[in-house]
Amino acid sequence: MRYSALTQRIDGDGAAAWRIHDRALELREQGVDVLLLSIGDPDFDTPLPIIHAAIDSLLAGDTHYSDVRGTRTLRSSIASRHQRRSGQLVDAENVIVLPGAQCAVYSVAQCLLDPGDEVIVAEPMYVTYEGVFGACGASVVPVAVHPENGFRVEPADVAALITAKTRVILLNSPNNPSGASLSLKSWQALAALCVRHDLWLISDEVYSDLLFEGEHISPASLPGMAERTATINSLSKSHAMTGWRVGWMIGPKPLAEHLMHLSLCMLFGLPDFVQNAAQVALDKDLPEVALMREEYRQRRDLVCARLSGCPGIRPIKPDGGMFVMVDVRQTGLGAQDFAERLLEGYGVSVLAGEAFGPSAAGHIRIGLVVDQARLADACQRIASCAAQLLQVRRA
């Protein structure tokens, strides 16, 4: 039977990246002791006040169709939160609530891009971006970065890639997988490029609450950027709510209206009981959120300290996020082969950097998604794997 061309455009290396994770789950089901560090799913429980809000809402009968844009109260809370943090003047009409940041990026792409358009995306890039833009028939133009520079984007490298076909720049700060963030000076230079060439900017800020070094900048707050920026965020990482699927887009009102029309024909809104829980997450000062953030920082520091100086490997300390990239090139294996050996021989599941683009080749991504004791154990196993490979090379 025949399938559409779309099925080919959403397949590829990004979809294949998860195979090692699937293999890790398979080994776990067989009783193998596997430390699962290959997916960015927090090991924390969603704070209880959020859960209780959802339960109360269910018991109150909030199980019917909801406003396709998101409830006005939730959109107002999102707008107020963003305005407090960025200084950008927005209100509920600039916001649309969608099932996760992933869906928000996909929806924005559908409303901005046509077949043949080009999207400049900084490497290393989140593995689903390729499929998201492929679904539109657009071409991804990657911006190479360098591990020696902490995987940070250089505006001059972006400028060199702009062509008559360029329609959108997508930047993710802090970045997944590298954890690299962008300074105000870099954002100002990138904003100038967007204004000069009349480009859209998709700013993926999912990890903005997990920035440990420097200050988070929302580029939509810079001069000339509000009318050309779609800001993406969610509660998945900051509030341990990955399974709740609550994300949003903040942008110019015409874009929000287009997203509403797309949601109308594709999603028809989030359940009210989920939105009421999200309302509590945004409006309450929950101590659990601050504790989770500090725990991620400590986990980052632990992994970098444990792996620093280990023969054959080099951790690259991220500015933020919930991952650490580790250079394994000195072991003599590519990252995919190293990751497979690490899983099968040492019971640690990580993703290979090649899945995120050529700039991350020779690196593995470690998820900070288990407690510090198990992370220390994982570091020991990773170091042992590298040491054994070096020994074989010298033999």
What's the mean pLDDT in 200-226?
96
At residue 289, the 3 state secondary structure works out as: helix
Taking the CA atoms of 287, 289, 294 and 295 in sequence, report the sign of the dihedral they define.
positive
Q: Is residue 309 part of a domain?
A: yes
Q: Rounded to an integer, what distance in angstroms lies between the CA atom of residue 73 and that of residue 78?
A: 9
Q: Are residues 328 and 262 in the same domain?
A: no
Q: Is residue 68 predicted with pLDDT exceeding 70?
A: yes
pLDDT band for 367, please (50, 70, 90 cuts).
very high
Instruction: Write down the mean pLDDT value for the chain.
Output: 94
Residue-wise pLDDT for 260-317, tens only, equals 999 999 989 999 999 999 999 999 999 999 999 999 999 999 999 999 999 999 999 9
pLDDT tens-digit readout, 252-262: 999 999 999 99
Identify the CA nearest to 275 among candidates 66, 108, 81, 59: 66
**What average pLDDT does this structure show over 61-86?**
96
Q: pLDDT band at 17, cuts 50/70/90?
A: low
Is the pLDDT confidence value at 12 over 80? no
Domain around 108: 49-283
pLDDT of 391 reads: 85
Predicted local confidence at residue 85, as pLDDT: 93
Asked if residue 272 and residue 171 are part of one domain, the reply reads yes
Q: Is the domain of 91 the same as that of 219? A: yes
Distance CA 368, CA 371 (A): 8
Classify residue 256: in a domain, yes or no. Answer: yes
Instruction: Decide if 88 is inside a domain.
Output: yes
Number of domains in the chain: 2
Is the pLDDT at 11 greater than 80? The verdict is no
Q: Rounded to the nearest 5°, which phi and psi values hold at 299? A: -65, -45
Of 233, 256, 283, the one marking the end of a domain is 283
Are 351 and 255 in a shared domain?
no
Q: How confident is the model at residue 29 (pLDDT cuts 50, 70, 90)?
A: very high
Is the domain of 273 the same as that of 235?
yes
CA dihedral (385, 386, 388, 389) positive or negative: positive
Judge whether 113 lies within some domain: yes
Percent of the chain with pLDDT over 70: 98
CA separation for the pair 118, 167 (Å, rounded): 6
User: Do 67 and 99 fall within a single domain?
Assistant: yes
Q: Where are the alpha helices (DSSP H) in the chain?
A: 6-9, 13-16, 19-29, 48-59, 72-86, 101-112, 129-135, 155-159, 184-197, 253-266, 272-283, 287-307, 335-346, 372-394
pLDDT given at position 15: 55
Verify that 239 and 353 share a domain, yes or no.
no
pTM metric for this prediction: 0.94
| DSSP letter for each residue of 342-359 | HHHHH-EE-EEGGGG-GG
Domain boundary among 247, 262, 283: 283
Domain boundary among 264, 283, 302: 283
Query: Is the CB of residue 241 less than 8 Å from the CB of residue 46?
Result: yes
Residue 14 above 60 pLDDT? no
Answer yes or no: do 217 and 317 share one domain: no
Q: Are residues 152 and 273 in the same domain?
A: yes
- What are residue 120's DSSP bridge partners? 141, 169
Band (pLDDT 50/70/90 cuts) for residue 40 is confident
Q: In what order do the strands lie in the sheet with 118-122?
A: 95-98, 247-250, 229-234, 200-204, 166-172, 118-122, 139-143
What is the rounded distance in angstroms from the CA atom of residue 164 to the CA atom of residue 63? 48
**Domain of residue 373, CATH code:** 3.90.1150.10
State mean pLDDT over 155-174.
97
Burial class (CB in 10 A: 0-12, 13-18, 19+), 256: buried
Task: Label residue 13 by pLDDT band (50, 70, 90).
Answer: low
Mean pLDDT of 51-78: 97
Mean pLDDT of 153-167: 98
What per-residue confidence (pLDDT) applies to 192?
98
Q: Which of 162, 152, 143, 220 is nearest to 186 (CA)?
A: 152
**What does the pLDDT read at residue 10?**
80
Pair (74, 179) in one structural domain: yes
Whether 1 is covered by a domain: the verdict is no
Residues in the chain: 395
What DSSP string describes 12-78?
A: SHHHHTTHHHHHHHHHHHTT---EE-SS---SSPPPHHHHHHHHHHHHTT--S---TT--HHHHHHH
Q: Is residue 267 part of a domain?
A: yes
Indicate if the pLDDT at residue 16 is higher than 80.
no
Q: What pLDDT, on the 0 to 100 scale, is given for residue 127?
A: 84
CB of 234 closer than 8 Å to CB of 176: no
pLDDT at 393: 75
CATH number at residue 171: 3.40.640.10
Question: Do 82 and 226 belong to one domain?
Answer: yes
Q: How confident is the model at residue 6 (pLDDT cuts 50, 70, 90)?
A: confident
Distances (CA, A) of 228 to 30, 187, 239, 360: 50, 14, 28, 29
Residue 335 sits in the same domain as residue 242 = no
